[in-house]
Amino acid sequence: MSEAIEAFSPIFALPFELLAKIFVLGVGSHSDSELDSYRLQDTYRVLHVCSHWRNVAIQTRQLWTGPLTVSVSLGRRSEAKERAYAEALQGLLARSEPLPISICLRNFRSSSSFVEPNVHIMRALAETSSRWRSLRIRETVPESFIKTLAESGPFSCLEELDLRRVSRHAQLVKLAFALSFSSALRLRKLTIDLECRVPMPWALLSEVHIFATSQHYGNILGVLAQCANLLKASIVLSALSEPPPFRPTDTSLNHLESLSLTFVGESEKFFMPFLVRLSAPALESLSLACETLEDAIWDNLSFTNFQTRSPNITNLDISGNSSPIPSSSLISALTHSPLLTHLRVNDCSINDTFLRALTLREEAGSPPLVPWLYSLSLTGLADVGICISEDVLKRMIESRWGYSDSDALMSDARSGRCLQKVVLGGESAIHGSFRFSEDFMNAMKNLQGSTGPPSSIEFVEEILLR
């Protein structure tokens, strides 16, 4: 009865814990682009409703320490409004003491030119730099900001850093040397453009996201080699021009568990040479995305050798741009991934040969391909009816479909009938979309219902009907 009464109580009479949770959820409900202005307004607004709300808000540290996006310049607003914004920001930061905070900085530009950051805003931020847990800079920045940032340390609480857009102009390269995060001993996650040469505690990092042009291709493995404790890495390489001469070195990342490689434009030619030089014995998840993955790019022997050095891959994601990867290459990749449980092939112009290789057969003597396959995603299937047929696709899925009962699943694993999640998508970057036939869709629905209640099975059909 007391719970019912409490549920219908006026909001000013709600328990402290519930009211605090409402405040936190309400203030954090805006989109990231709106977060800076609304966060300040909403946080201070609850202070002026009544003394009870004020006491709750002041004592709710999470209200003052949530992620904060700060506009370093307010554009054409008056000096008085900028000062008011800076004072409100300073008050919010003061109430968050002594806890770590997450900061995202934006609005360094107006139209096509830089604007100088507001002095009062930058001063308020600089005073809290020792408490930054996370720092993200979402835009290219002026020289003055690099100088201010260099003078703001130490960054003793910093765990996550995003400097992807800091050095997009040549004049910033020399200035970047004035800035160093080498003393940020808690830093574990870094996003960076290799044009930015700011010193980092590479050996401490567990996760890196690297953006680079082909000019810096020779530096990528060298940077990774310094990351002795790396668990997760993603690299996006775009073509600019031919890289300067460099001596490739073999790199071993003994703890790396997840690797994502994206090669844009003509940078695809560096795809296989990169893998040839890399050894990752603990690798479990591999994601490869290229605009072109043709015969000239994909080398079976090189990829097989990489798989031999990384024998524990359970998650493989290959994404092309309607690239005609030979079915023999895909089949070879799966043959050398016996532990694979999750497979995603996106927009790679697969054909019936590939689907038949995945289809389980009754005859004994030949071990099934990827017998532990649990989740299969085939997207970009705009060639249905041309390179692949619905009947072959349906037969393959039916042959591998597993059971919701865990004991039955384990006993059937040897036969390869472990599949419990399928994602089908028909949109291709080049060929557009298509419609699956009604018969195929009904067959998939019947298959999903054949294993009983889907309490432990997630079967998803991403079918584009336009």
Shared domain for 309 and 360, answered yes or no, is: no
Predicted local confidence at residue 173, as pLDDT? 55
Give the range of the structural domain holding residue 238, as residue numbers without chain letter.
206-313
Predicted local confidence at residue 459, as pLDDT? 42
Query: Tokens in use for 420?
Result: 């419990």
> What radius of gyration do the chain's Cα atoms show?
27
Shared domain for 342 and 461, answered yes or no, is: yes
- 9-16 long-range Cβ contacts below 8 angstroms, 24+ apart: 12/49, 12/50, 12/52, 12/53, 16/56, 16/59
Number of helices and strands (H, E) in the chain? 17, 17
User: If phi over 0 gives left and psi between -120 and 50 gives alpha, with beta otherwise, what is residue 187?
Assistant: beta
**φ, ψ at 236 (rounded to 5°):** -120, 115
E-assigned strand segments in 194-257: 207-213, 232-238, 251-252
Residue 294 lies in a domain: yes
Cα maximum dimension of the chain: 81
Distance CA 131, CA 340 (A): 42
Residue 459 lies in a domain: yes
Residue 84 lies in a domain: no
Predicted local confidence at residue 457, as pLDDT? 43
* 242 DSSP 8-state letter: P
Distance CA 70, CA 132 (A): 13
- CA dihedral 367→373→374→379, nearest 10 degrees, is -130
Residue 5 lies in a domain: yes
Shared domain for 240 and 154, answered yes or no, is: no
Query: Tokens in use for 128?
Result: 């809290």
Residue 318 lies in a domain: no
Shared domain for 53 and 98, answered yes or no, is: no
The strand pair at 251-252 and 278-279 is best described as: parallel
Shared domain for 353 and 395, answered yes or no, is: yes
The strand pair at 113-114 and 132-137 is best described as: unpaired
Total-model pTM: 0.83
Residue 391 lies in a domain: yes
Determine contact, residues 383/349, Cβ cutoff 8 Å. yes
Determine contact, residues 136/163, Cβ cutoff 8 Å. no
Shared domain for 267 and 340, answered yes or no, is: no
Cα–Cα separations (whole angstroms), residue 458 to 141, 414, 448, 452, 461: 45, 21, 9, 12, 10
Distance CA 6, CA 14 (A): 7
Residue 120 lies in a domain: yes
The position carrying tokens 């449980």 is: 341
Boundary of a domain, candidates 171, 188, 203: 203
* 169 DSSP 8-state letter: S
Cβ neighbours of residue 390 under 8 Å, at least 6 residues apart? Answer: 384, 436, 437, 439, 440
Query: Tokens in use for 320?
Result: 């092309």
Predicted local confidence at residue 427, as pLDDT? 60
Shared domain for 344 and 459, answered yes or no, is: yes
* 91 DSSP 8-state letter: H
Shared domain for 385 and 445, answered yes or no, is: yes
Burial of 12 (0-12, 13-18, 19+ CB in 10 A): exposed
* 432 DSSP 8-state letter: B
**φ, ψ at 160 (rounded to 5°):** -135, 130
Shared domain for 214 and 186, answered yes or no, is: no
Residue 327 lies in a domain: no
Query: Tokens in use for 332?
Result: 């070879």
Boundary of a domain, candidates 203, 225, 246: 203
**Which amino acid would we find at residue 293?**
L
Shared domain for 113 and 59, answered yes or no, is: no
DSSP H/E element including 458: none
Q: Give the pLDDT of the chain (466 residues) as one tens digit per residue.
A: 445 544 555 666 778 888 888 887 777 654 444 444 446 667 777 777 788 888 888 888 877 887 888 887 766 667 777 788 888 888 888 888 888 999 888 776 655 566 677 788 888 888 898 999 999 987 777 777 777 777 777 899 999 999 887 755 544 555 555 678 988 999 999 999 888 888 899 999 999 999 988 778 778 989 999 999 999 999 998 876 666 666 667 899 999 999 999 988 766 677 788 898 899 999 999 999 886 555 446 888 999 999 999 999 999 999 877 666 788 889 999 999 999 999 999 888 788 999 999 999 876 567 789 999 999 998 877 654 557 888 999 999 999 987 555 555 555 555 678 888 888 876 654 455 567 788 888 888 888 776 654 433 444 444 333 2
Distance CA 326, CA 60 (A): 58
The strand pair at 68-71 and 101-106 is best described as: parallel
Boundary of a domain, candidates 139, 170, 203: 203
The 10 Å Cβ neighbour count of residue 177 is: 12
* 97 DSSP 8-state letter: T
The 10 Å Cβ neighbour count of residue 450 is: 10
Q: CB-hemisphere CA count at 13 Å for 397?
A: 26
DSSP codes joined into one string, 363-417:
-TTSPPSSTT--EEEEE--TTBTTTB-HHHHHHHHHHHB--SSHHHHHHHGGGT-
Shared domain for 110 and 197, answered yes or no, is: yes
Predicted local confidence at residue 72, as pLDDT? 78
Determine contact, residues 333/303, Cβ cutoff 8 Å. yes
β-bridge partners, 251: 278
Domain count, the chain: 4
Shared domain for 185 and 213, answered yes or no, is: no
